Amino acid sequence: MNGAKIKIIDDYDEEITRYGTGDWDNDDTCQHHRVEGFVIAEDNYYDFQCSIEDIDWEKTYYLVYVNYDTGDSFGHYAGKIAFVDLFESRELAFSLAEAIEDNAKAYGNKSNWDYKPLKYKVDDGSERECYTSAWLGYFESINDVVVKEVLRERKYV
């Protein structure tokens, strides 16, 4: 896979919404995110590798991410986020967002879900498989699929 390794500038906080009551009861938490832009990762710590190889400084890009809730039998974790991809094309970004929502609806009705990775088109015309589907599962539910205009930042603070 070629393309820039993207680190999202995501300022977030997490609050405990309910404290666990015993050994088998975890705290419930909620995260609040403020996605502010992105940088090119200079190390192996990055959120995802996008399909775009040359990232311009002055250009607006479109980040697709999913805000979802998850948990287990012992606790609930709200406001998690999964960054999916970065686009030059607004239309392709919204197309992916719609595909994610459709795929999640099909997952909810197992008879319509094909158990294959979600595929989508990227800016160079090729097709990619979605590297994650963290928002799909027994305890998971999508809050929102977001397309956000972002700029490359010169310095990560």
More confident residue, 13 or 111: 13
Query: How far is the C-alpha of 147 from the C-alpha of 144, rounded, in Å?
Result: 10
What residue ranges do the domains of the chain occupy?
Answer: 5-151
Amino acid residing at 147: V
Among the listed residues 68, 50, 65, the one whose alpha carbon sits nearest the alpha carbon of residue 10: 65
What pLDDT digit, counting tens, does each position of 32-78 carry?
888 888 888 888 888 888 888 888 888 999 999 999 999 888 888 88
User: What's the pLDDT score for residue 157?
Assistant: 46
Cα distances (angstroms) measured from residue 48 to each of 10, 82, 111: 13, 10, 31
Indicate if the pLDDT at residue 10 is higher than 90: no
Q: Are 147 and 92 in contact (CB under 8 A)?
A: no
What pLDDT digit, counting tens, does each position of 100-133 carry?
999 888 887 666 666 778 999 999 999 999 988 8
Among the listed residues 16, 10, 154, 8, the one whose alpha carbon sits nearest the alpha carbon of residue 76: 16
Question: What's the predicted TM-score (pTM) here?
Answer: 0.85
